[in-house]
């Protein structure tokens, strides 16, 4: 999917701006606080109805305003055109697709996969398992049509089971939910395991190995291998009742990231961590493409900080090789490798106002 036009109103310090991005590479430059990340955030709003920085819309709507508005034109891989829009007040969200009101954000999100690299991305390495489960959930939401429905049903049943555990319900009452959870757990596990095997095949070929060592993801499904989930729930029932929670299952799945068979978070430097995350983003882009999905849009915020010249070159090369439409930001366009600058449409932001930029050098 490619964004061919974007208009933004009242997002942070952007009062009103309109750009016509390149379908390939875009580079947004500007001083600290000029609004570069806010532009990426606006694209993220358009695609997912959410910010990647905050869950509070009031943080994002420009001070003194009531509504943020982002509109865009998109073009799919087969040339289909879409008009997408979002209007958000502090309390309400209104989404539109081709002029029609859309009630669920997943309808637009499914159409527009986005992969984001920003200041939060280090959480993929250093944060809790939920950050990595989110990666799986996002990818499979796009690739497996029933994934979201099964995931939601699973969490709904899990909530019911946990409510019963808190009220010290009997084994018989709780077992009703075990029977519902088990097939959904098996289905989620099957999809997740397959997804990670595919991602690992792409990572095996990643050039990131030249700098960081060979990269591998290890999927743990949230309960022991070779054990039926329903049987396990029967054996863990006393403990679950004690702690008033379901202690095993897909909601406890984990993805561990290894370099040269060592746990990445315990050994990599911050710069190496950035490269590893870039490699994982590229593998996800490849996975989406090879699964026959729309190409993702890549939002790459401030790639160059913490990376030396070799690292910047490698990260840029990997990201460009995805051929996905990409939005890079940088304080100075010259911070990014010549390879990016050479192919990019250049935009400059000043005090929330954006214009095209003539590039020298």
Ligand X SMILES: Nc1ncnc2c1ncn2[C@@H]1O[C@H](COP(=O)(O)OP(=O)(O)OP(=O)(O)O)[C@@H](O)[C@H]1O
Return residues touching ligand X (CB under 6 A): 12-13, 30, 32-38, 59-63, 331
Residue 348 interface partner, choices ligand X, Mg ion, none, CB cut-off 5-8 Å depending on type: none
Binding flag, residue 284, Mg ion (CB under 5 A): no
- The least CB distance from residue 295 to Mg ion, in Å, is 25
> Looking at beta carbons only, is 102 or 331 nearer to ligand X?
331
Paired sense of beta strands 114-117 and 344-350, if any: unpaired
> Looking at beta carbons only, is 35 or 222 nearer to Mg ion?
35
Residue 12 interface partner, choices ligand X, Mg ion, none, CB cut-off 5-8 Å depending on type: ligand X
> Looking at beta carbons only, is 32 or 170 nearer to ligand X?
32
> Looking at beta carbons only, is 267 or 346 nearer to Mg ion?
346
Contact partners, residue 130, CB within 8 Å, separation at least 6: none
Could you say which of 9, 26, 37, 206 contacts Mg ion (CB under 5 A)? 37
Residue 13 interface partner, choices ligand X, Mg ion, none, CB cut-off 5-8 Å depending on type: ligand X
> Looking at beta carbons only, is 52 or 219 nearer to ligand X?
52
In this structure, is the dihedral angle defined by the CA atoms of residues 113, 116, 120 and 123, taken in order, positive or negative? positive
| Residue 104: both structure tokens together | 């669920």
Residue 30 interface partner, choices ligand X, Mg ion, none, CB cut-off 5-8 Å depending on type: ligand X
Per CB under 5 A, which region of 8-16, 34-42, 169-177, 232-240 contacts Mg ion?
34-42
> Looking at beta carbons only, is 61 or 275 nearer to ligand X?
61
d(CA 216, CA 227): 24
Residue 296 interface partner, choices Mg ion, ligand X, none, CB cut-off 5-8 Å depending on type: none
- The least CB distance from residue 344 to ligand X, in Å, is 17
d(CA 16, CA 39): 11
d(CA 195, CA 284): 10
Residue 32 interface partner, choices ligand X, Mg ion, none, CB cut-off 5-8 Å depending on type: ligand X
> Looking at beta carbons only, is 61 or 108 nearer to ligand X?
61
Residue 63 interface partner, choices ligand X, Mg ion, none, CB cut-off 5-8 Å depending on type: ligand X
Backbone angles phi, psi at 179, to 5 degrees: -65, -35
Residue 34 interface partner, choices ligand X, Mg ion, none, CB cut-off 5-8 Å depending on type: ligand X
- The least CB distance from residue 37 to ligand X, in Å, is 3
d(CA 218, CA 235): 26
d(CA 83, CA 288): 22
CB atoms within 10 A of CB 29: 24
How many residues at the interface with Mg ion, by CB under 5 A? 1
**Residue 263: closest CA among 203, 211, 216:** 216
- With tokens 């192919």, the residue in question is 343
- The least CB distance from residue 61 to Mg ion, in Å, is 18
**Residue 6: closest CA among 68, 77, 55, 74:** 74
Tell how far CA 144 is from the center of its chain: 16
Crossing angle of the two packed helices 229-243 and 171-204, in degrees rounded to 10: 110
> Looking at beta carbons only, is 47 or 233 nearer to ligand X?
47
Residue 62 interface partner, choices ligand X, Mg ion, none, CB cut-off 5-8 Å depending on type: ligand X
- The least CB distance from residue 307 to Mg ion, in Å, is 16
- The least CB distance from residue 150 to Mg ion, in Å, is 36
> Looking at beta carbons only, is 90 or 171 nearer to ligand X?
90
* Rounded CA Rg of the chain: 22
Q: Which residue is nearest to Mg ion (CB)?
A: 37
Tell me how far CA of residue 41 lies from CA of 70, 100, 137, 301, in angstroms. 10, 23, 20, 10
d(CA 276, CA 258): 10
Helix (H) or strand (E) run with residue 206 in it: none
What residue ranges bind Mg ion (CB under 5 A)? 37
């Amino acid at each position: 999917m490619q964004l061919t036009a974007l208009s933004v109103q009242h997002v942070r310090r952007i009062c009103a701006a309109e750009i016509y991005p390149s379908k390939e590479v875009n580079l947004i430059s500007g001083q600290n606080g000029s609004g570069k990340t806010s532009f990426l955030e606006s694209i993220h709003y358009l695609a997912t109805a959410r910010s990647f920085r905050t869950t509070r819309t009031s943080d994002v709507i420009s001070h003194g305003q009531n509504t943020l508005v982002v509109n865009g034109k998109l073009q799919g891989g087969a040339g289909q055109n879409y008009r997408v829009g979002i209007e958000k007040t502090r309390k309400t969200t209104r989404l539109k697709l081709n002029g029609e009101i859309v009630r669920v954000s997943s309808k637009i999100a499914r159409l527009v996969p986005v992969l984001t690299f920003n200041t939060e991305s280090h959480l993929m390495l250093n944060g809790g398992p939920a950050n990595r489960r989110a990666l799986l959930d996002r990818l499979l939401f796009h690739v497996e049509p029933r994934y979201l429905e099964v995931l939601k049903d699973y969490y709904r049943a899990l909530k019911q089971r946990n409510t019963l555990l808190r009220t010290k319900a009997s084994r018989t009452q709780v077992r009703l939910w075990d029977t519902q959870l088990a097939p959904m757990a098996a289905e989620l596990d099957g999809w997740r395991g397959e997804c990670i095997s595919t991602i690992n095949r792409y990572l095996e070929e990643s050039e990131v190995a030249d700098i960081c060592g060979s990269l591998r993801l290890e999927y743990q499904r949230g309960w022991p291998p070779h054990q039926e989930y329903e049987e396990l729930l029967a054996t863990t029932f006393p403990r679950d009742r004690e702690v008033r929670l379901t202690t095993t299952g897909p909601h406890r799945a984990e993805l561990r990231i290894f370099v040269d068979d060592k746990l990445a978070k315990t050994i990599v430097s911050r710069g190496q961590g950035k490269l590893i995350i870039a490699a994982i983003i590229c593998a996800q882009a490849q996975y989406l493409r090879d699964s026959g999905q729309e190409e993702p849009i890549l939002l790459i915020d401030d790639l160059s900080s913490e990376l030396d010249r070799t690292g910047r070159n490698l990260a840029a090369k990997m990201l460009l090789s995805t051929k996905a439409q990409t939005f890079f930001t940088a304080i100075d366009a010259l911070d990014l490798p010549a390879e990016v600058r050479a192919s990019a449409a250049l935009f400059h932001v000043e005090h929330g106002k954006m214009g095209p930029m003539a590039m020298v050098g």
